[in-house]
Amino acid sequence: MFEEFGDVGLIAEIERETRAAAASDSRRLRLIAEMVGRRVAGQDDELLHWACDYWDAAAAEVAAAMGISQRAASKEMRIAVALGERLPRVAALFDAGRVSARLIATITWRTQLVLDERALGVIDAELAGRVAGWGPLSVDHLERAIDTLIERYDPGALRRLREAVRARDVGVGKPDDVSGTVSLWGRLLASDGAALTKRLACVLSGVCADDPRTAGSFGRMRWG
């Protein structure tokens, strides 16, 4: 079906379709961000921390529309919101199809702890000037390149991430456990904690209505 293309033309078509696919991905995330704004923005802050809240409801709709899991849909939503609210220059490149969805996911994840607005604006501008040439890099190289910028303009954010990741741990059992029971405690990445919370909420929602046990404090759990 592509006999009309010579080798050079074929490569040009591959490049064109790659950019078109990236631009399409960007438009999808823009639509998701709009939906998040309509479903979640402006709702009571306390409701946003419920085990099942407006975010979950929106994620369920996005999941159904995309044919993916609710967890994957929630990830798409967080990327969409980060692009729209935190990284406008990088988002513009994505709109133009000049960067890939893979790169966008890495950027939004690595910059999530940059809280200083001025530093974030500079990092966004620096990234916009460099990311178009980062496509072939491995994930490790991408993360190191992004972390270099964060270290330069907001070193505290990078230290917070590194220190928090190093502090991850899960323990079972303590000397003061009540007889016949065992405690479970630990520290996870915020994204893993949110995913665990939602998964447990899903499991609890399937318990028989006549089960005398309650969810206890689970419904009040919050993840960073």
pTM above 0.85, yes or no: no
Q: To which residue do tokens 């078509």 refer?
A: 13
Domain count, the chain: 1
In a domain, 205, yes or no: no
Asked whether residue 3 is domain-assigned, the answer is no
What range defines the domain where residue 128 resides?
A: 8-166
pLDDT digits (tens, 9 = 90+) for 58-100: 889 999 999 999 888 999 999 999 999 999 999 999 999 988 8
- Looking at residue 161, its pLDDT comes to 63
Asked if residue 187 is part of any domain, the answer here is no
- Residue 91's pLDDT is 94
- What mean pLDDT comes out for the span 10-34? 91
Which among 176, 166, 198 is positioned nearest to 78, based on CA atoms? 198
| Contact criterion met (CB below 8 Å) for 71 and 97 | no
In a domain, 51, yes or no: yes
Number of residues in the chain? 224
Distance CA 119, CA 155 (A): 10
Task: Check residue 102 and give its pLDDT.
Answer: 87
User: Across the strands, what pairs with 172?
Assistant: 184
Evaluate whether residue 175 is within a structural domain.
Answer: no
Q: Is position 181 within any domain?
A: no
pLDDT band at 52 (very low <50, low <70, confident <90, very high): low
For CA atoms 9, 26, 108, 105, give the dihedral sign: negative
Do the Cβ atoms of 214 and 65 come closer than 8 Å?
no
The DSSP string of 163-209 is HHHHT-EEEE--TTPPTT---EEEE--HHHHHHHHHHHHHHHHTS-T
